[in-house]
Amino acid sequence: MSVSIVLFTSDLRVHDHPPLRAALRASSEVVPLFVRDTGIASAGYAAPNREAFLADCLGDLDTALRACGGRLVVRSGDVADAVAGVAAETGADAVHMAGGVSAYAQRREERLRNVLEGQGRRLVVHDSVVTAVAPGAVTPASSDHFAVFTPYFRHWSEQRLRDVLAAPRAIRVPDGVATEGTPSRARVSGTSPGLAAGGERAGRKQLTAWLRRGVAGYEDGHDDLPGDATSRLSPHLHFGTLSPVELVHRARGAGGPGADAFVRQLAWRDFHHQVLAARPAAAAHDYRTRHDRWRSERAAARDIEAWREGRTGYPVIDAAMRQLSHEGWMHNRGRLLTASFLTKTLYVDWRVGARHFLDLLVDGDIANNQLNWQWMAGTGTDSRPNRVLNPVTQAKRYDPDGAYVRRWVPELAGLAGAAVHEPWKQPGPERAKYAYPDPIVELAEGLERFRRARGLD
């Protein structure tokens, strides 16, 4: 009788799960294990929205495992110690898990390997679980990672993806393995009122609906702010309730320009993961320094506060920031605009914005968040590091009738059409009717400060 452990991390599903499949092939008994890692909370990375979504995911994973005779074992503490404890209790000879990319995940894996090898057990790390194409699977001739998306995407597209694995039919868990039980979403306080539900079942339903009704319009609609026509699958990709390999296969199966554009975005996700895997320090440090001397958080305190609270006086920025706090999610165009506004128009360090996003985003992800922030700040992989997005022109283009702004900034609901994007242009008495702030900065002034700071004038 042999026992394997499957350590679930960012892969909270039973469908298309290579570690689970390998463990079931190798052993007659399997312990599906999740460790509530105390290190994540002490690193300041736990956020109520993600804790609540995680609780849904763990509950759902337990239900799925029970449906085939198993169950989820939950422990808390240091991951390496907790796994080693379960391994010693059950006499497991191997632990299977998905490879991660962040510095934290890399350290966790190394420590786990050392502890297990010290006990005479094996750690088996599986690729293409968290990403479709494993970081490092495609590299340019002269470097360990791609710094430019277009050639990366070309190579990425040529990769043959592994086949999608079915969910297991039967799992036997050794008797008597203690569990703390799955956490409850209801016990997490401080969550966003409009937070989505988590779990693999919810994710799969959403994916099916998306492929049937959404993806065909993705190419044309993905930037349409009021249309909200993106997949909203990002939290499921972050927690791994959906498999990126399966998503690519199924989207390609759906076919058409919408599906192609969607697959390209999934490649962006892999792109950022391979950058972070090769340069873990990019989570906290400029990938490419522009020698910025950002305004100090103290000097910019009022601007930062207004940005966080959605009171900058630029309606599209405020709408997006309010969507973030209400839903724990923000449309990609909103993320681009609010990040450009903070880092360029207000000239505030990208880490300040990235931190706030990570505090709220249900899909908050070190690879995607930090590297997209760096992209917008011009310290990352963008080949046009000094571009500044104008929130008024962009609002007119991506929210032409102002419906997105009116949805999130109800103070301006009385302003019809695109006039909502420039409330300051209303004549005095009309303007006074709206309890909405004046812009905290003139766009031209912000631009000049940024250009000076970057030595562009």
Which residues lie near ligand FAD (CB under 6 A)?
A: 222, 230-234, 237-238, 262, 265-266, 268-269, 272, 332, 335-336, 339, 357, 361, 363-365, 368-369, 372-373, 376
For residue 313, the minimal CB distance to ligand FAD (Å) is: 21
**Shortest gap between Cβ of 136 and ligand FAD (angstroms)?**
18
Q: Would you say 29 or 327 has its CB closer to ligand FAD?
A: 327
Q: With 0-12 CB in 10 A as exposed, 13-18 as middle and 19+ as buried, what is 209?
A: exposed
Report d(CA 244, CA 134) in Å as an integer.
11
Please, which residue, 65 or 248, has the CB nearer to ligand FAD? 248
Sign of the alpha-carbon dihedral angle for 369, 371, 377, 383: negative
Least distance (Å) from ligand FAD to the CB of residue 285?
A: 17
In the complex with ligand FAD, which residue's Cβ is closer, 250 or 335? Answer: 335
State the nearest-atom distance from the C-beta of 242 to ligand FAD, in Å: 9
Nearer to ligand FAD, 232 or 311 (CB): 232
In angstroms, the CA 455 to CA 343 distance is 16
Taking the complex as a whole, how short is the minimal distance between the CB of residue 230 and ligand FAD, in angstroms? Answer: 3
The token pair that represents 173 in the structure block = 């868990």
Which position has the token pair 């812009």?
Answer: 439
Query: By C-beta, is 174 or 364 nearer to ligand FAD?
Result: 364
| Joined tokens for residue 282 | 């990019």
Write phi, then psi, for 128 (nearest 5 degrees): 55, 40
Q: How far is the CB of 330 from ligand FAD (least distance, A)?
A: 7
CA 441 – CA 452 distance, rounded (Å):
16
Could you tell me the smallest distance in angstroms from the CB atom of residue 27 to ligand FAD?
33
Strand partners, 97: 7, 125
- How far apart CA 146 and CA 155 sit, in angstroms, is 10
In sequence order, what are the beta bridge partners of 8?
Answer: 34
Q: Which is nearer to ligand FAD, 192 or 368 (CB)?
A: 368
Q: What does each C-alpha distance from 175 to 168, 224, 423 come to in angstroms?
A: 19, 53, 66
* C-alpha torsion 315→320→321→322, nearest 10: 90
Contact 407, 327 (CB under 8 A): no
Kindly tell me which of 55 and 196 has the beta carbon lying closer to ligand FAD: 196
